[in-house]
Structure 1
Amino acid sequence: MRSENERVAPDGELRTITLEAYADTIVPGQKRHDGDRAIAGVATGGGAVQAGALELLQWDATGIHDGLDDLARLVNEHATAYAAERNIALDPSVPPFVALEYDDRAALILLLTTPGHPEKDFWVMLSLFCNMAFDSAAHLPTAQALADGHPGLAAMGLSHPDADGLWRFKDFGYGRELARLHPDTTPSGSPA
């Protein structure tokens, strides 16, 4: 039997909006449009969702892509219990986690990631991948992410590569050259 929330939208949409809300709680961003329910809009600029958290989570290299339906279902079950314990009325037109206000989403994630919680490892892993999408754009080639204006890489001030796609730095990291370039180093920087 389907719950009322599962009747609102197809399962894929429920999973997407739930995981977007989770990612936005980890690294908040700006709403994409006025009716955006997944993104709480507690920050300006792009957050984890705009940085591609969903794309990274669905990437098979993460190893969690097959479990996303279960994680979305579980966080919605936890949100329902959390709301019931606190007498919070949830909007039935969206999944329970999405219906929570940002502060309640954050409080619930804190509970789920607290040492001793039986599912802690799952929620910490999901949180780390959401953060990774913002911090490193691990699912994208770095040069492409920079060219596309990736919000996390832009916030960190990561420099763009030279025209040939390689990163070179005019200033030495320690303020001085630590070693001379080996005479057999190729123009691409690879040792011969």
Structure 2
Amino acid sequence: MPPEATRLTDVEVMTLEAFADTIIPGERRYATDRAIAGAADGGGAVAAGAVDLMVSEEGGIGGLLPTLVIGLNDHAQAYAEKHDRTLDDTVPAFVALDFDDRTALAAELMAPRTDEQDLWVPLAMFSVMAWDTGASVHTTEALAAGHPGLAAMGFTEPDADGLWRFPDFSYRRVLASPHPHTTPSGDPA
């Protein structure tokens, strides 16, 4: 994590991991993992770097994360009371919810036209961005580390020099001719 990134407490990290895992689930990192529910095989949003992306300076939401964590845990506590759930008070309230309850609460928070939708949808989008793009690290680093989202999508490895070239057209045919002033490196004239 770069020095400019937001520093989070263990409770904040655990809560954000549980939220990210609710958006794109993965397998537990170890047997007693509470943040990751283990609702899917392979790495999910957490393994894809969702929290790293959330706290990054480039992400622009780092300063909001402690407040969002408080709100998320407050909502989880209220959800538990409303649905007669007993929460383990040794972990944050959102983490203490089982996966189905986390999913139901997230759906409530992000439902169209809810008062706080504008808070929770962007947070969920960071989980999706981390999974889809590996945006918390350079793409070549993500691929070398076996990034779960890029691997699941079959993202093409770069050539030996670290650049991507695509000798085969994705539609198996040329769709358009290059502009006559396009340079050999592909730059427009």
The one-letter code matched in structure 2 to 1:17 is M
Gaps of 5+ in 1: 1-10
Tell me which moved more, 104-113 or 59-68: 59-68
Match of 1:19 among 16, 21, 32: 16
Match of 1:185 among 162, 183, 186: 183
Cα offset, 1:55, TM superposition: 0.3
Tell me the distance in 2 between the aligned counterparts of 1:189 and 1:180: 9
* Preserved CA contact (<8 Å) 2:17 2:51: yes
Aligned to 2:114: 117
Deviations 1:139-176 (A, max 9, x none): 22111111111100000000001011111122112322
Q: Structure 1 residues 191, 37: closer, same or farther in 2, change over 3 A?
A: same
Aligned match for 1:169, one of 166, 171, 174 = 166
**TM-score, length-scaled by structure 1:** 0.89
Q: Whole-Å Cα distance in 2 between the matches of residues 46 and 173 of structure 1? A: 27
Q: Which amino acid aligns with 1:59?
A: S
- Give 1:185 deviation, angstroms: 2.6
Matched, 1:79 2:93: no
Percent identity at matched positions?
51
Alignment partner, residue 100 of structure 2: 103
Following TM superposition, the consecutive aligned residue runs of length 4 or more in structure 1 with deviations greater than 3 angstroms are 180-184, 188-192
The separation in 1 between residues aligned to 2:15 and 2:172, in whole angstroms, is: 47
Cα separation, 2, equivalents of 1:14 and 1:180: 53
161-170 vs 82-91, greater mean Cα deviation: 161-170
Aligned pairs (5 A) from 1:25-174: 25-174=22-171
Q: Distance in 2 between matches of 1:40 and 1:175?
A: 41
* Count of aligned positions: 181
**How far apart are the structure 2 equivalents of 1:184 and 1:92?**
63
1 CA distance for matches of 2:48 and 2:186?
Answer: 30
Measure the CA separation in 2 of the matches of 1:110 and 1:139. Answer: 25
Alpha-carbon offset, residue 191 of structure 1? 4.8
Separation in 2 of the partners of 1:119 and 1:180? 47
Q: Unmatched 5+ residue regions in structure 2?
A: 1-7
Comparing 142-151 with 21-30, greater Cα deviation is found at: 142-151
Aligned equivalent of 1:5: none
User: Matches of 1:146 and 1:157 in 2, distance apart?
Assistant: 10
TM-superposed CA distance for 1:82, in Å, is 0.3
1:15–1:165: structure 2 CA closer, same or farther, 3 Å change rule?
Answer: same
Q: 1:97 to 1:184 in 2, by over 3 A?
A: closer
Q: Any conservation in 1 of the 2:73–2:92 contact (CA below 8 Å)?
A: yes
